[in-house]
Amino acid sequence: MASEKIKVFTDATFGDEVKNGVVLVDFWATWCAPCRRLAPIVDQLADEYNGKLTVAKVDIDENPMTPSQFMVRGIPTLLLFKNGDLKETVVGLETKERLAQIINKHL
């Protein structure tokens, strides 16, 4: 991960981590080529929204319970939470501009 502003969530920490504020979670895997293409966009969002938004990643291979709980069937999948409530789901590659629109709606 290029940005030090991105957190790593696990099955054990996920519930506590998304309860406060606006949180964007990237579900990914090391073998996923589209995930690698989305990573720089997620890094940029973490930098640009620092202090307004928490950005995190969940490796689905190491943490299978959380993706199952939220019915993540394909990756990359981005979930946006506000104070613990799931507000948006984005599956697949998306532009930075579109993701920013989605984020701004909930800030």
1 pLDDT higher than 90: no
| Number of independent structural domains in the chain | 1
Whichever domain contains 94, its CATH number is: 3.40.30.10
Cα gap 43→45, rounded to integer Å: 5
- Which pair of tokens denotes residue 28? 């990914």
What would the pLDDT profile of 6-52 be if each residue is shown by its tens digit?
Answer: 999 999 999 999 999 999 999 999 999 999 999 999 999 999 999 99
| Active-site amino acid positions | 32, 35
Q: Is 13 domain-assigned?
A: yes
The string of DSSP letters for 51-104 reads TT-EEEEEETTT--HHHHHTT--SSSEEEEEETTEEEEEEES---HHHHHHHHH
Q: Is 1 domain-assigned?
A: no
Neighbours of 104 (CB within 10 A): 11
Residue 61, domain extent: 6-106
Cα gap 49→23, rounded to integer Å: 11
* Whole-structure pTM value: 0.95
Q: Is 79 domain-assigned?
A: yes
The dihedral through the CA atoms of 100, 16, 50, 29 has a sign that is negative
